[in-house]
């Protein structure tokens, strides 16, 4: 199948629903084989079926992105199952909402652990493959990483951090043939406010 991503292998975290699911299917339409990760195996399996219906190979790789060993194991599973990794999309995330004075230390830790640390260790795990194949790291931030949102202080802070991380990594990778892109979606109907919140 011809397409912008013909013969590429793409990994999308948070791939079972919302933006991640949409990205996985669009990459498949553009010729990529797609691995999807998340915590809900049934959702991942549904996405794999949809990828395969588009004529591409799909692979469900359950993974907790806050676990560094798990992200490393996920990359190994993808390379074993699909042969390589060209694009890693760190999309997994969720949003804590509420007025600033109501947020607990645990709210802050969970928000930063998933959205910031999870993004960092996902891309770190993928980088050896991305370097080998002159691939691309993609970090999904948010419009909330450009304009802080009231009652979403923790979420906004996490997405500003992802924005900074993406800019710094892009500079580190300059001239290597491997790139980093940060995307800042606007408001999208998804499970982000309903999952683990």
Fill in the DSSP letter of residue 144: G
Question: Which SS3 state, helix, strand or coil, does residue 57 take?
Answer: coil
CA distance 145 to 130: 25
> Which residue among 11, 27, 94, 155 is the active-site one?
155
34 and 59 Cβ atoms separated by less than 8 Å: yes
CA distance 97 to 73: 32
Residues 6+ apart with CB under 8 A from 119: 65, 90, 92, 93, 139, 140, 162, 165
Cα-based angle 184, 22, 110 (whole degrees, multiple of 5): 55
Please confirm, yes or no, whether 119 is among the known catalytic residues.
no
Question: Which SS3 state, helix, strand or coil, does residue 2 take?
Answer: coil
Fill in the DSSP letter of residue 83: S
Catalytic residues: 155
């Amino acid at each position: 199948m011809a397409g912008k991503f013909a013969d590429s292998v793409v990994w999308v975290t948070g791939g079972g629903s919302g933006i991640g699911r949409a990205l996985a299917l669009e990459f498949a339409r553009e010729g990529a084989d797609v691995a999807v990760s998340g915590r809900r195996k049934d959702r991942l399996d549904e996405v794999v079926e949809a990828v395969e219906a588009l004529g591409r190979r799909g692979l469900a790789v359950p993974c907790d992105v806050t676990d560094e060993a798990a992200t490393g194991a996920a990359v190994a599973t993808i390379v074993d199952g699909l042969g390589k990794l060209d694009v890693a999309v760190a999309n997994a995330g969720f949003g804590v909402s509420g007025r600033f004075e109501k947020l607990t230390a645990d709210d802050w830790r969970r928000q930063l652990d998933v959205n910031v640390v999870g993004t960092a260790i996902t891309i770190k795990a993928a980088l050896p493959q991305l370097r080998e194949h002159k691939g691309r790291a993609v970090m999904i931030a948010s419009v909330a990483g450009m304009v802080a949102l009231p009652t979403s202080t923790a979420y906004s802070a996490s997405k500003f951090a992802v924005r900074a991380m993406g800019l710094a990594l892009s500079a580190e990778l300059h001239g290597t043939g491997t790139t980093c892109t940060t995307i800042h979606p606007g408001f999208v109907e998804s499970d982000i406010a309903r999952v683990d919140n």
